[in-house]
Amino acid sequence: DNVVNVTSSDREDYVINVVEKPNYGWIVLDSWSVNNISSIETFSGSDLRERRVVYVSDRDSSATRDSFSVVACISHHTCTQPQIVDVTLSQRNVQSK
């Protein structure tokens, strides 16, 4: 398992850039809507710490695994090497009533 460790000053938050999007879903912030869903390309360390970043699978897909690649950056020119994030999927209908 790969872990990306990022250290930044209290005044400067790091940014995660998605360099390869998932094939069977979307990376979204917690304010997403099923009627207008699209993957975000970047999110902050604060978003991660506050658990605002969510992977949402395509409900029409029968895939059981997905992946995407990210880099963590503390400045425009200082980033980690790309890291693959593996996702294990399980189907669950959270929109039904």
For residues 21 and 40, give the distance between their C-alpha atoms in angstroms, rounded to a whole number.
Answer: 9
Q: Which two tokens stand for residue 1?
A: 């398992």
- The pTM for the full model equals 0.77
- Which comes out higher in pLDDT, residue 50 or 2? 50
Q: Which residues pair with 43 in a beta bridge?
A: 16
What is the pLDDT, as a whole number, of residue 21?
95
What is the pLDDT, as a whole number, of residue 61?
85
Buried b (16+ CB within 10 A) or exposed e, 34-69: eeeeeebeebebebeeeeebebebeeeeeeeebebe
Domains of the chain, by residue range, sit at: 15-88
What is the pLDDT, as a whole number, of residue 67?
96
pLDDT digits (tens, 9 = 90+) for 3-43: 666 666 655 688 999 999 999 999 998 877 777 788 899 99
Listed as own residue / partner, the contacts of 10-14 with beta carbons closer than 8 Å and 24 or more positions apart are 12/74, 12/75, 13/44, 13/45, 13/46, 14/44, 14/45, 14/72, 14/73, 14/74
pLDDT band of residue 82 (cuts 50, 70, 90) is very high
pLDDT digits (tens, 9 = 90+) for 36-80: 788 899 999 899 889 999 898 888 888 999 999 999 998 878 898
